[in-house]
Chains A and B, each alone.
Chain A
Amino acid sequence: MLGFIENLGSYTLYNLRQTGRMGVFFANCLASIAMPPFQILAVVKQIHFIGARSVTVVLVTGLFTGMVLGLQGYHTLSRFHSEELLGSAVALSLIRELGPVLTALMVIGRAGSAICAEIGIMRNSEQIDALKCMAIDPYKYLMAPKVVAALVSVPLLTALFDVVGIFGGYLVGVILLGVSKGAYFQGMYDSVAWADIWMGLVKSVVFGLLMVGIAAAKGYYLHLERNGAFGAEGVSRVTTDAVVASAVAVLVWDYLISAVMM
């Protein structure tokens, strides 16, 4: 019994410390963005990695998400003879919820895991210590370009996801199932407000920050993991943890932002 309480206490303390470290890490990352010199080339390179190289996966998932929304939406709405509302149903679902969330999950799987593994390997092989010893701030040199790239890329990818998703819904709803083209787009035009687009944008910015922050922090603090994280096995374990933690954080923050902004 005493052992259980001891373990619980140690686990709680560890998690409190981790949360504190994450907070400090986020603060340092954000502060490093604001301070010159600005690494334009490094940011462009990271936008290519996080953004451009995620385009294909976002296009494919966006298209099929829109298509399945069109299919499910049509069959649900047809029960109430409201097929003409398909356009607004697809657009609102994508812009307010599915676009930001699914884009973030795709970017976490593709880029978040890679960021965590990269930083983790650098930590394990003393490369981060080497940067500090060369008087190079790891936050400025490593993290700031990634954070800026995520802030630029994730909202753009989300917009792409929304557009392709709406096209997917059009393909199934209008081309395959015969909903009126005019009704599809007019319904969308009538129902989507700037507030919906704003909500989607806020979510994508927050999710981008969460993704890069959690992934990079997990790698950066690899050496402080509770049961030790050594070698390739340690990096792989921490990377898995980072992906799970980022995905959970995205869903939790999705609810919180929706609750505040609706």
Chain B
Amino acid sequence: MTYTQDNVAIEMIGVEKNFCGQKVLNGIQLSITEGKTTVITGASGQGKSVILKHMLGLIHPDRGNVRVFGQDINLIGKKQRQNLRGSFGVLFQSVALFDSMTVYDNVALPLRERSRLGEAAIRANVEEKLALMDLHDVNHKYPTQLSGGMKKRVGLARALMLDPRVVFFDEPTTGLDVHRSNEIYRLFHHTQKELGYTAVIVSHDVPRIFKLADYVALLADGKIQGCLSPNEFQRAENPHIKAFVETTMGPIYMSEQEEHSVHASI
């Protein structure tokens, strides 16, 4: 098991969580390296999103600690937690755009509430981020008027508004076709290289997501079975990882066309 200890952005130490008497997380040990992309994968219903919500401080662990940039997110005061969250960007599975606001207002919201910038500077920032996402002429549209892929891009633009140090992606390509998924991956790859943020991606889009990952962590039986580089992950001896790799990356895992499409888009 390879845990990278230098430049740790987020650390989960012995995190346990029960829901209605069922143990979902059973002693999670995980380190997220700063500036790198860590993918948390595993079968559906294993608690991947629960791990993400622990990192964000949205759920409190029954036992264990979650340290973000050296501070326990559950033990610090409200003000400190807010400051910490100011360095986060999140792309939710449901995107969580505000339905009653236009695209422009959705993307501008973090700056309006968290900065002292004037409306002209906010407008410039919003235009820049929307252009980065290849979104044009959508400012006055409402989220319900957008396609799934466009919503994700608006969500990513909003997540990047405060120039975050860590960006969390919860199933970023769920519900999207291969073409749209690749578009999201391309944008992620491009923005991460440009802005240099730490990325935590919860996904079961295996093995495509491996091409973007520096580390892959498998969640099974309530524990992280390993957090390894994609190459190490595919050769790991851990029975859970081995079974997962065989199931998801067998000989029929990806067509040549799909493989070519991913390579071309990234």
Binding site for B on A (CB under 8 A): 122, 125-127, 129-130, 132-137, 141
Q: Given known contacts A126-B92, A129-B58, A129-B92, is B113 in contact with A134 (CB within 8 Å)?
A: yes
Question: A130 and B113: CB pair below 8 A?
Answer: no
Interface pick from B22-30, B78-86, B206-214: B78-86
Question: B58 and A134: CB pair below 8 A?
Answer: no
Nearest A-chain residue to B84, judged by Cβ: A135
Nearest B-chain residue to A37, judged by Cβ: B113
Nearest 3 interchain pairs by C-beta: A130-B96, A126-B96, A135-B85
Number of A-B contacts (CB under 8 A): 54
Question: B96 and A125: CB pair below 8 A?
Answer: yes
* Interface residues on chain B, number (Cβ under 8 Å): 26
Q: Given known contacts A134-B113, A136-B109, A136-B110, is B96 in contact with A129 (CB within 8 Å)?
A: yes
Min CB distance, A43 to chain B, in Å?
16
Residue numbers in B under 8 Å from A130 (CB-CB)? 90, 92, 96, 98
30 A/B residue pairs, CB under 8 Å, sorted by A: A122-B98, A125-B94, A125-B96, A125-B99, A126-B93, A126-B94, A127-B96, A127-B97, A129-B56, A129-B58, A130-B92, A130-B96, A130-B98, A132-B56, A132-B85, A133-B56, A133-B58, A133-B85, A133-B90, A134-B85, A134-B109, A134-B114, A134-B158, A135-B82, A135-B86, A135-B114, A135-B162, A136-B110, A136-B114, A137-B78
Question: A133 and B88: CB pair below 8 A?
Answer: yes
Residue numbers in A under 8 Å from B114 (CB-CB)? 134-136
Min CB distance, B188 to chain A, in Å?
18
Q: A130-B96, A135-B83 are in contact. List 18 more A-B contacts (CB 8 A).
A: A125-B94, A125-B96, A125-B99, A126-B96, A132-B57, A133-B56, A133-B85, A133-B90, A133-B168, A134-B85, A134-B90, A134-B114, A134-B158, A135-B162, A136-B113, A136-B114, A137-B78, A141-B113
Binding site for A on B (CB under 8 A): 53, 56-58, 78, 82-83, 85-86, 88-90, 92-94, 96-99, 109-110, 113-114, 158, 162, 168
Residue numbers in A under 8 Å from B113 (CB-CB)? 134, 136, 141
Distance of A136 Cα from B57 Cα, bound (Å): 14
Nearest A-chain residue to B78, judged by Cβ: A137
Nearest A-chain residue to B87, judged by Cβ: A135
Min CB distance, A60 to chain B, in Å?
28
Min CB distance, A128 to chain B, in Å?
9
Residue numbers in B under 8 Å from A127 (CB-CB)? 96-98
Distance of A132 Cα from B58 Cα, bound (Å): 8
Min CB distance, B102 to chain A, in Å?
15
Partner of A137, one of B82, B83, B90: B82
Distance of A129 Cα from B168 Cα, bound (Å): 13
Residue numbers in A under 8 Å from B58 (CB-CB)? 129, 132-133
Distance of A127 Cα from B96 Cα, bound (Å): 5
Distance of A141 Cα from B97 Cα, bound (Å): 15
Residue numbers in A under 8 Å from B82 (CB-CB)? 135, 137
Min CB distance, A131 to chain B, in Å?
9
Nearest B-chain residue to A141, judged by Cβ: B113
Min CB distance, A117 to chain B, in Å?
12
Nearest A-chain residue to B109, judged by Cβ: A134
Nearest A-chain residue to B111, judged by Cβ: A134
Residue numbers in A under 8 Å from B158 (CB-CB)? 134
Distance of A134 Cα from B89 Cα, bound (Å): 7
Distance of A129 Cα from B53 Cα, bound (Å): 9
Nearest B-chain residue to A228, judged by Cβ: B20
